[in-house]
Amino acid sequence: MEPTVGDKAGNIAKSLQYIAEAADNGADLVVLPELCNSGYVFESLEETRALAEPVPGGPTVDAWEKIAAERGLHIVAGIDEADGDTLYNSAVVIGPGGYLGTFRKVHLWNRENVFFTPGDLAFPVFDTPLGRIGALICYDGWFPESYRECALQQADIVCVPTNWVPINGQDPNREAMANILTMAAAHSNSVFVACADRVGTERGQPFIGQSLIVSYTGWPIGGPASADAEQILYADADLDDTARSRAWNAFNDNPLGDRRPGEYRSAG
């Protein structure tokens, strides 16, 4: 998806169009990019605040709750959240019955630190009829602890609204580093991961697209998507497989079961 910074009404309308299209094609869980209701490259704190809204109870979540109820969907999507005077780069989790909860981005990237406060809700995992859903946002995926926190709470899938940007040293003939990190995290934590990136260039900042859906095996089952065009990815995922996958052989329950925290001397 390519949001337009400042055009909240247009961004909400576009998101509803794509959510409806995904539902028409059988989707049960829809993931949208980071800050997809507001755009990303803010010029000032005042602009960021003007585009922010309470969660729940704001116009964006109200619109997503309505379509989730109408279409029997779960939605995870990025939003510019206002909690009183404090702003968060957040992801909202919504089910057919309404708002389920919020993840607030823990690891802020670059000038996000000017506009947002780091998340204070840790890494919540939400129990749903589809399975246990965790959420991260963009740069959170560079920290193995983020995925591990979700996996230790028995998440079946981690949904990642993101706005990936070009990374120094990227080999143009290889997968995006973001994709490699996502695949590794899915494999080492035995979780499905669904990353929804944005495309386009906003106020001079390019974004790399290449959204993907990854099995608990670490291999993509959807995408990577286009680097520069809006696109919906689909994949069939039996989230019950995540629990079954957590026994690799007679001696190893995979890295979750084989952890030895007492030996991790520098952890903290």
Catalytic option among 2, 34, 53, 65 = 34
Tokens at residue 59, please?
């116009």
Give catalytic status of residue 105 as yes or no. Answer: yes
123, 97 in Cβ contact below 8 A? no
Q: How far apart are CA 44 and CA 49, in angstroms?
A: 9
Q: Which residues pair with 238 in a beta bridge?
A: none
What is the DSSP secondary structure assignment for residue 191, as one 8-state letter? Answer: -
Give catalytic status of residue 8 as yes or no. Answer: no
Of 135, 139, 149, nearest to 29 by C-alpha is: 135
Q: What angle do CA 190, 196, 202 make, to 5 degrees?
A: 145
Place of tokens 């993931």: 31
Catalytic option among 2, 36, 105, 150 = 105
* Residue 201 to residues 5, 153, 225, 229, Cα–Cα distance (Å): 11, 36, 17, 11
Q: Which residues pair with 56 in a beta bridge?
A: none
Catalytic option among 138, 150, 159, 195 = 138
Q: How far apart are CA 251 and CA 182, in angstroms?
A: 26
Phi-psi label, residue 156: left if phi above 0, alpha if psi -120 to 50, beta otherwise? alpha
Give catalytic status of residue 36 as yes or no. Answer: no
Q: Catalytic amino acids?
A: 34, 105, 138
